[in-house]
Structure 1
Amino acid sequence: MAETNSGRLSWRAGGDALADIEQRQLFFIGGAPRSGTTWVQLLFDAHPDVCCKGEGLFPHYLEKGLTRIVEEWRQALSQKNNTLFRQSGGYQLPDDEDIDFLLATGILRAFNRQCRGGNYSAIGEKTPENVFLFPRLKRLFPHAKFVGVVRDPRDALTSALHIFYKAARDEGHDASPMDFIRHSLGPMIQGTKAMLALCSQYPSACAIVSYEALIADPKASVSRLFDFLGVESTSNIVDACIAKTAFSSLSSGRAPGDGRNSEFFRKGVVGDWKETLTPEMNRVILDAMGEWFPFFGWKP
């Protein structure tokens, strides 16, 4: 909330600020980890009229934390209402709308904070797991837009093996690479289904972009994303955003294909899975997610 000259919180001023943020074009980015969500977030943030940051971790902490707190509060009140205050009626219980209101307020506060006073027409946030929260976010913010990022799951899992699996091994976890892949496929399938379901229900509020399309034709892909968000997509703006977020710019000068498995921006290419995955790994992934390959234009 905003502060007065005395340093005290001004609820009215804070509420007005959040109401102003809510009037902007809000949007959320989600998709499987290592699918290109950070790249898309940075492309949006490079636009002069867009503020898009990551990761706010709204699904991990804000939603889960508020749900737990309100449920514990509800249980505590209910217990007293049914015992000590049984004859006097007790106190009215909080409900799920309280969680929604607090969650929406927390997200708007985060958006207000990330803008640092800037006057942006579009404000967004990227957390890969947002994809599981898309339906609820749509309910909280009916005018929000949603961007799903997809990538050939073999490439996404290859990147994840080099980044997350190695980190897990370093921490003492002894799962095999195949176990890691099998464990990762469940959430990837659920996320893809959630993304496609929302796009089917609200086609004008959803856009899906693939890592492969961004590599093959960045200008067309970025122009489409900016048009979807309702911000300028002139050649100068699009070219500047692409240049600012090119792999060489994000990786301290490395060219695409110059891989470093310890770096967040690891390699920046399509088809790297062929150098890492075994035929059995490829089969397991195709068995699990092959039905979507034609839809997204991936080749088995």
Structure 2
Amino acid sequence: MSAVSKGLKRRGRLLVQALRPPTSNAGSGTAAARRTRETGETDRYVAPHTPRLVESPVFILSPVRSGSTLLRVLLNSHSKIRAPHEMHLRTLHVHMDRDFTPDAMKELELDKSELEHLLWDRVLDLELKRSGKEIVVDKTPPNALIWPRLRRCWPQARYLFLLRHPEGVVTSLVNRRRKPDLAQIHAEVLRYAEKLEEARQTLPGHTVTYEQLTGEPEKATREICRFLGVEWEAGMLDYGRHDHGTFRPHMGDWSTTITSGKIQPARRVDHRPDLPPRLAEIAEAWGYQATTTV
């Protein structure tokens, strides 16, 4: 067979491969995935950091049921701060559809993580441009669980650590669920608390508590504005006069407390639940007193 014939045959084979429909995830998977299962080898290429459109976004890191929606709407009421509903960036993924796609991206000095980072950054940039403001804030609570990824994506990001007494978080979750499993709730709250404490010990940022936010909102928001480098605005406290979008599940709190448009006092915990020892330890590290289970 001549060299020309071999070349045409190879070209035809590559063309068929390129036009072939993607392999179903339910099947045997890609060749790369099969190699990983068979040899234990993985592609360890890590793409370099690419420039960001939004260099210094702000992330509110907090447990669930800690007042992050209240903090969001207070910040969103500022003329220079855009704080939309929970964006769940961590759930936006890039899927490379062919065996050769990772190699193609590698030639561009990109990998799956960096492609996702570009997508996340574009979402924030689009939101900022649409708002006409200067600072964008994301308050999605599960961000606390992925803070190392956020730091990798945005080395110059800024962080607001929002704390609440774990007893209050536990009580809020118990009251919110139809058939609360206390052990499961303790585990959930501890997971957030552990990661949040890791972030506080590692990242630069400003700490505010739910109790401060509801008890002394002017003082708390003044300190936050100072940290973010903007002038405090009295209109932040009257957040009900501003448009904050829809309040609904998976986008933040949607209770009558938040939709009232007014800052409500923190709910009193009549029965203080006992906490597992490690959760009580973290509570005390945050400046709270706590009772522990035996």
Whether TM-score is above 0.5 comes out as yes
Match of 1:182 in 2: 183
> Does 2:145 match 1:132?
yes
Task: Please say which structure displays the higher CA radius of gyration.
Answer: 2
CA shift, 1:93, in A, is: 7.4
Q: TM-score of the superposition, structure 2-length normalised?
A: 0.66
* TM value normalised by structure 1: 0.65
Residue type matched to 2:215 in 1? Answer: A
Question: CA offset at residue 56 of structure 1?
Answer: 0.5
What is the identity, as a one-letter code, of the residue corresponding to 1:58? Answer: L
SS of residue in 1 equivalent to 2:282: helix
Equivalent-residue separation in structure 2 for 1:157 and 1:35 (angstroms) = 10
Equivalent of 2:66 in 25, 35, 43? 35
Alignment-derived partner of residue 92 in structure 1: 103
Q: Residue 192 of structure 1 corresponds to which residue in structure 2?
A: 193
Q: Is the 8 A contact 1:30 1:148 kept in 2?
A: yes
Tell me the secondary structure at the aligned position of residue 238 of structure 2: helix
Q: Which amino acid aligns with 1:240?
A: G
Question: How much has 1:97 moved relative to structure 2?
Answer: 5.3
The answer to whether the 8 A contact 2:52-2:118 is kept is no
Query: Structure 2 vs 1, CA of residues 262 and 209 (structure 1 numbering), >3 Å: closer, same or farther?
Result: closer
Given candidates 251, 258, 268, the residue that maps to 1:265 is: 258
Give the secondary-structure state (helix, strand or coil) at the position aligned to 1:272. coil
- Inter-CA distance 155–269: structure 2 relative to 1 (3 Å threshold): farther
1:50 to 69, 73, 81: 81
Cα RMSD, aligned residues only: 3.3
Moved more, 147-156 or 129-138: 147-156
- What does 1:226-237 align with in structure 2 at a 5 Å threshold? 226-233=225-232, 237=233
TM-superposed deviation, 1:244 = 2.0
Other-structure match for 2:5: none
Q: In structure 1, which of residues 93, 96, 104 is the aligned counterpart of residue 117 of structure 2?
A: 104
Gaps of 5+ in 1: 1-17, 79-89, 167-175, 251-260
Aligned residues: 226
Partner amino acid for 1:54? H
1:243 to 238, 244, 248: 238
Q: Is the 8 A contact 1:104 1:140 kept in 2?
A: yes
Q: What letter matches 2:115 in structure 1? A: L
Q: Structure 1 vs Structure 2: percent identity of aligned residues? A: 19
**Residues 298 and 123 of structure 1: CA distance in aligned 2, closer, same or farther (over 3 Å):** same
Q: What do the CA deviations read for 1:51-83 (whole angstroms, capped 9, x no partner)? A: 111211112x21xx33xx35xx5xx628xxxxx
Kept after mapping to 2: 8 A contact 1:199/1:207: no
Deviations 1:169-194 (A, max 9, x none): xxxxxxx43x2x32122232232222
Give the unaligned 5+ runs of structure 2.
1-49, 245-253
Report the 3-state secondary structure (helix = DSSP H, G, I; strand = E; otherwise coil) of the residue aligned with 1:208: strand
Which structure has greater helix proportion?
1
Letter in 2 for 1:270: A
Q: Distance in 1 between matches of 2:66 and 2:215?
A: 15
Cα contact 1:43–1:245 (8 A) shared by 2: no
Contact 2:54 2:124 in 1 (8 A): no
1:20: Cα distance to partner?
Answer: 7.6
Q: d(CA) in 1 for partners of 2:142 and 2:150?
A: 12
User: CA 1:98–1:245 in 2, change beyond 3 Å: closer, same or farther?
Assistant: farther
In the alignment, the residues of structure 1 paired with residue 229 and residue 217 of structure 2 have an alpha-carbon distance, to the nearest angstrom, of: 18
Assess if the C-alpha contact under 8 Å between 2:54 and 2:125 holds in 1.
Answer: no
Matched, 1:298 2:288: yes
Change (3 A) 1:262 1:224: closer
Task: Describe the SS at the equivalent of 1:149.
Answer: strand
TM-superposed CA distance for 1:128, in Å, is: 0.8
Name the residue aligned to 2:213.
214
Cα deviation per residue 1:99-141 (whole Å; 9 max; x = unaligned)?
Answer: 2222222222222332353432211111110111211111111
